[in-house]
Structure 1
């Protein structure tokens, strides 16, 4: 589905994607009632807050946390470019920690700006690890780290790799569970140009796992990073981009980038139903 069309539908009426049952995504229309079945799990998702670049990061995060405490999802997750691990950002972490349920983190490329290390980020956020997995309500969730730099890589700019060691762990982790799988990564795995450099190899891990399992085991891969709304489907695996909580990019005349803050913070709520449907509602 073209990005513009998906954007319109995600703003107006949400989007639903099929899980195990069929192969193609099913999109909801405005005011259309979906045959959802019983909700198995609800997840609050935000990404690309960029607290260190914007003037109102705490207020934006507070709005998200306030709504999540009312909604009471099974867990919340931020998918990177959250904040660097400096003491001045502790008030932002205090807002994040107001959520009364489980909280998870994904490392983004900007979270190490200023010379910080990924280990410092993990400690400051109280994050579980650089990449890890967990089970919840009959689903297996995987968090990947797309900020690795392969040995011998001397390229400039932010690293955006998932190296062989992590890919081997990913394969073994998927093989070790019999549950359907949902994956989080800051950079897009469906976008080799701006996303993960080894995206095609990671997608192959997902596709081979599905063939081996005999059903759509890896159902959905979520990312941030691009500050856009879109859904791609490659070989029956859905790849969903979640928009930035804070701003949109705009081109400058010198071919650089500037950004414009959105009036209100953006986030998503994802609900998985027992009939194989995944419904995503955008804020």
Structure 2
């Protein structure tokens, strides 16, 4: 794949998903284990893929531990970030995100971070899993503009089981840039390994 030749040296990313600090008894221990492992690995950036911790004062220590663990930390909005009445915009601001969805370049690798929590017009309740029209237009523009290689990051899957409800539309956009898009990674499904 020609686009990979643009990467001058290997890039290492540390990723954690679905810490669920507020509902899992071992959240702090799992975060500590991850951060300790990342000290050994020396990644180029740390990413948390959503469902991390409610944006409350009692979770300041957890969110600050993640932020301080590396000079480059990136956040993805998960569906549970709004539990307790918070808004996605408020969470993004609290975590210092560029926005609910954004791009970042790490040593020549273009990351596209998506927010899959938008409500479709026919939303009937529960947690939405959708990318709205405005974000789709933004994604299309990014796929055309970015040189690549591109890593797409989301909380909810863009394909397979538990995927967003307009996955076909998103996949069509990603396929239009298949020569640049290397991989899409997500959290949400609580699968703790990659085959």
Give the alignment of 1:1-283 within 5 angstroms: 20=1, 39-150=9-120, 152-191=121-160, 194-210=162-178, 216-228=179-191, 243=192
TM-score (norm 2): 0.91
More helix by percentage: 2
CA-atom RMSD, angstroms? 1.8
Q: Which has the higher strand share?
A: 1
Q: Alignment partner of 1:127: what SS?
A: coil
For normalisation by structure 1, the TM-score amounts to: 0.63
Describe the superposition over 1:206-226 as per-residue Cα deviations: whole angstroms up to 9, x where unpaired: 11123xxxxx21110001111
Q: Distance in 2 between matches of 1:58 and 1:94?
A: 12
Which residue in 2 is equivalent to 1:239? Answer: none
SS across alignment from 1:97: helix
For 1:144-172, what per-residue CA distance to the aligned partner results, in whole angstroms no more than 9, with x for missing partners? 0000012x334111010001111110010
Tell me the secondary structure at the aligned position of residue 162 of structure 1.
coil
Which secondary structure does the structure 1 equivalent of 2:70 belong to?
A: coil
Unaligned ranges ≥5, structure 1: 1-19, 22-37, 211-215, 229-242, 244-267, 269-279
- Which deviates more from structure 2 when the two are superposed, residues 95-104 or residues 216-225? 95-104
Work out the CA distance in 1 between the residues paired with 2:66 and 2:127.
Answer: 26
Q: Which has the higher contact order (CA 8 A, sep 6+)?
A: 1
Change (3 A) 1:182 1:154: closer
C-alpha deviation, 1:39, in angstroms:
4.4
Larger Rg over CA atoms: 1
Give distance in 2, aligned partners of 1:180 and 1:217.
5
Cα contact 1:182–1:220 (8 A) shared by 2: yes
Q: Which residue pairs with 2:5 in the alignment? A: none
Aligned residue pairs, count? 190
